[in-house]
C-alpha cells in the first residue's frame, strides 16, 4: 500500500486532518487501534471555539452544528456562595462559544469519511512507525493476524497522549514539560435538563465543580476528587449530594438528578512536547500536548494544530513547497503555550490544593472577586475562554 499521508489515530485530530486533506486532493489513510464504537464512547470535550467551528466548516462537517449545537454567550463563576456572569459576547466584541460534544464532532467526521469512501483501518494492532528521519517513511500494523505495510511521504501522529508516535522519537530529539495536578475530575453524564442555561464553574472550599451540558435534555457535571478515589466510591446518590453541597441555593433547588449514563475519573495534567516535527513525522493534538480541562482548550488546540498541519501538508504534497512544514512546530507551539498558561491559571484559581490552607482559599476568592468586578479582569478571562485569534501575536 502507498499513500501521501498515514494518519495514526482516528480521534478528532486524525479524522479532521483526513477530511481536510481529502478536500484538498491529498491521499491519506487512517490507522486506529480501537473500534469505531469505542472511539465514540469516550465522553470528553463539550465546548468549541469559533476558530474550531471555522475549521469544521472548511472540512465540510458543520451541517448538524446549527441545529444541535448550543451557542453560549457567557458563563457563571460561583464563589463565596454567589454567582457572577462572565459576559463573553459583551467583553469580546460579539464572540461566543458553541456547546457541542466531542462525540458529535467525531461522529460527523466518521460519517463524512465513510460517505467519501476513504480508508480507515480500525482495530489495527502493534502499530509501528519507521524511517521518519528519511523521505520514505512507512507504517506497519497487524490486522486479522496479517502484517500490513503502508509506504508514505509523511506520518501524522494524531494518536493521543498514550500513542506510539511521540514514544518512537529518540529521547535526545524531544523535550517534554509536564505538571501533574494532585486531583482528578469525576464526570457524570445524565439525561436530565441542565441546572442552568449556561455553564457554571464553581470554586468551593469543598473543591471545584462544573455544571455543563450536551443538550437541553442532557447534562454533564464534574467534581474535583482526590486522585486516589475510585468509581465504586461514587454511586450516583453520593455524586448528586456532593454536587449539591458545592452549589449555591438557587442552583441546588433547580438541580434535576437522575441515573448516570456515563461516569469516569480523569487525571489532570499540563504537558507539552517540543518540537512537534521530526523529519517526516508530525505530532498533532493530545499526542503533543495536554491541558487540564478547566479552560475547555484541549479539543480546540487539536483543531488548530490540524488546521496548520493540513495547510502545511497540502502545500508540500501539491505545491512541493516545504515552507509550511518547516514552520509547523513553531507556529503551533506559540498558540499551545498561551492555552497551556490559561488552562493552568484557571485550574489553579478554581481548585482546592492539598497544601493551600485557609489562606489559599481566601486568596483565590479575592482574585475571583477582583476578576468579576474589574472590566479588565473579566475581559482577560473572556478573551482567553472564547479563544485567541489564529494569527494572535504574529
CB of residue 380 vs ligand PHB: minimum separation in angstroms? 17
Phi, psi of 171 (to 5 degrees): -55, -35
Instruction: Select which of 12, 72, 95, 222 is catalytic.
Output: 72
Q: Is 156 in the site for ligand RFL (CB under 6 A)?
A: no
Helix (H, G, I), strand (E, B) or coil at 227: coil
CA atoms within 13 A on the CB side of 277: 20
Joined together, the cell numbers standing for residue 175 give: 523535550
Of all helices (H) and strands (E), which one includes residue 237?
A: helix 236-246
CB of residue 199 vs ligand PHB: minimum separation in angstroms? 6
Phi, psi of 260 (to 5 degrees): -75, 145
Q: Is 46 in the site for ligand PHB (CB under 6 A)?
A: yes
| 36 neighbors 110 (Cβ within 8 angstroms) | yes
Burial of 394 (0-12, 13-18, 19+ CB in 10 A): exposed
- Is 194 marked active-site? no
- In this structure, the number of other CB atoms found within 10 A of the CB of residue 302 comes to 28
| Per-residue contact string for residues 230-259; x = within reach of ligand RFL by CB under 6 A | ------------------------------
Joined together, the cell numbers standing for residue 347 give: 485550574
Q: Is 47 in the site for ligand PHB (CB under 6 A)?
A: yes
* The one among 83, 220, 246, 307 contacting ligand PHB by CB under 6 A: 220
Instruction: Give the binding range for ligand RFL (CB under 6 A) out of 2-10, 67-75, 81-89, 314-322.
Output: 2-10
Q: Is 123 left (phi over 0), alpha (psi -120 to 50) or beta?
A: left
CB of residue 192 vs ligand RFL: minimum separation in angstroms? 19
- Is 293 marked active-site? yes
d(CA 87, CA 84): 9
| Per-residue contact string for residues 31-70; x = within reach of ligand RFL by CB under 6 A | xxxx----x----xxxx-----------------------
Q: Which residues contact 62 (CB under 8 A, 6 or more apart)?
A: 53, 56, 108
| 109 neighbors 11 (Cβ within 8 angstroms) | no
- Is 201 marked active-site? yes
Q: Is 293 in the site for ligand PHB (CB under 6 A)?
A: yes
Instruction: Select which of 100, 201, 221, 328 is catalytic.
Output: 201
CB of residue 200 vs ligand RFL: minimum separation in angstroms? 14
- Is 89 marked active-site? no
- Is 297 marked active-site? yes
Q: Which residues contact 26 (CB under 8 A, 6 or more apart)?
A: 4, 5, 313, 314, 317, 318
Q: Is 202 in the site for ligand PHB (CB under 6 A)?
A: no
Q: 9 vs 207, which CB is nearer to ligand RFL?
A: 9
d(CA 26, CA 214): 34
d(CA 210, CA 222): 5
Joined together, the cell numbers standing for residue 263 give: 461516569
Query: Residue 297 touches which of ligand RFL, ligand PHB, none (CB < 5 to 8 A by kind)?
Result: ligand RFL
Query: Residue 220 touches which of ligand RFL, ligand PHB, none (CB < 5 to 8 A by kind)?
Result: ligand PHB
Q: Is 372 in the site for ligand PHB (CB under 6 A)?
A: no
CB of residue 293 vs ligand PHB: minimum separation in angstroms? 4
Joined together, the cell numbers standing for residue 73 give: 454567550
CB of residue 307 vs ligand PHB: minimum separation in angstroms? 21
User: Residue numbers of the site for ligand PHB (CB under 6 A)?
Assistant: 45-47, 199, 212, 220, 293-294, 296
> Which active-site residues does the annotation give?
72, 201, 293, 297, 385
Amino acid at each position: 500500500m502507498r499513500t501521501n499521508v498515514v494518519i495514526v489515530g482516528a480521534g478528532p485530530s486524525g479524522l479532521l486532518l483526513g477530511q481536510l486533506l481529502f478536500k484538498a486532493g491529498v491521499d491519506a489513510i487512517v490507522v486506529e487501534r480501537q473500534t469505531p464504537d469505542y472511539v465514540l464512547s469516550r465522553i470528553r470535550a463539550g465546548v468549541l471555539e469559533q476558530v474550531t467551528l471555522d475549521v469544521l466548516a472548511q472540512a465540510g462537517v458543520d451541517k448538524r452544528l446549527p441545529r444541535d449545537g448550543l451557542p453560549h454567550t457567557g458563563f457563571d463563576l460561583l464563589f463565596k456562595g454567589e454567582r457572577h456572569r462572565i459576559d463573553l459576547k459583551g467583553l469580546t466584541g460579539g464572540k461566543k462559544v458553541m456547546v457541542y460534544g466531542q462525540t458529535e464532532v467525531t461522529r460527523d467526521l466518521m460519517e463524512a469519511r465513510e460517505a467519501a469512501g476513504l480508508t480507515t483501518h480500525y482495530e489495527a494492532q502493534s502499530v509501528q512507525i519507521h524511517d521518519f528521519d528519511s523521505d520514505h517513511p512507512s507504517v506497519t500494523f497487524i490486522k486479522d493476524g496479517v502484517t500490513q505495510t503502508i509506504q508514505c511521504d509523511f506520518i501524522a501522529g494524531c494518536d493521543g497522549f498514550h500513542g506510539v508516535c511521540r514514544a518512537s522519537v529518540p529521547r535526545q530529539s524531544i523535550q517534554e514539560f509536564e505538571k501533574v495536578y494532585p486531583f482528578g475530575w469525576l464526570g457524570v453524564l445524565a439525561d436530565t435538563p441542565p441546572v442552568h442555561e449556561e455553564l457554571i464553574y464553581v470554586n468551593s472550599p469543598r473543591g471545584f465543580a462544573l455544571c455543563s451540558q450536551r443538550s437541553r435534555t442532557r447534562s454533564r457535571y464534574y467534581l474535583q476528587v482526590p486522585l486516589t478515589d475510585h468509581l465504586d466510591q461514587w454511586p450516583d446518590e453520593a455524586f448528586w449530594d456532593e454536587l449539591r453541597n458545592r452549589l449555591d441555593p438557587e442552583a441546588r433547588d433547580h438541580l434535576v438528578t437522575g441515573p448516570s449514563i456515563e461516569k469516569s475519573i480523569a487525571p489532570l495534567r499540563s504537558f507539552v512536547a517540543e518540537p512537534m516535527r521530526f523529519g517526516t513525522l508530525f505530532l498533532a493534538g493530545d499526542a503533543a500536548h495536554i491541558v487540564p480541562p478547566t479552560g475547555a482548550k484541549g479539543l480546540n488546540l487539536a483543531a488548530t494544530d490540524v488546521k496548520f498541519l493540513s495547510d502545511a501538508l497540502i502545500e508540500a504534497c501539491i505545491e512541493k513547497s516545504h515552507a509550511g512544514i518547516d514552520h509547523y512546530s513553531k507556529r503551533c507551539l506559540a498558540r499551545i503555550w498561551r492555552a497551556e498558561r490559561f488552562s493552568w491559571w484557571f485550574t489553579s484559581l478554581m481548585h482546592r490544593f492539598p497544601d493551600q490552607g485557609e489562606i489559599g482559599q481566601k486568596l483565590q476568592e479575592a482574585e475571583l472577586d477582583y476578576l468579576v468586578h474589574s472590566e479588565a479582569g473579566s475581559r482577560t478571562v473572556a478573551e482567553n475562554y472564547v479563544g485567541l485569534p489564529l494569527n494572535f501575536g504574529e
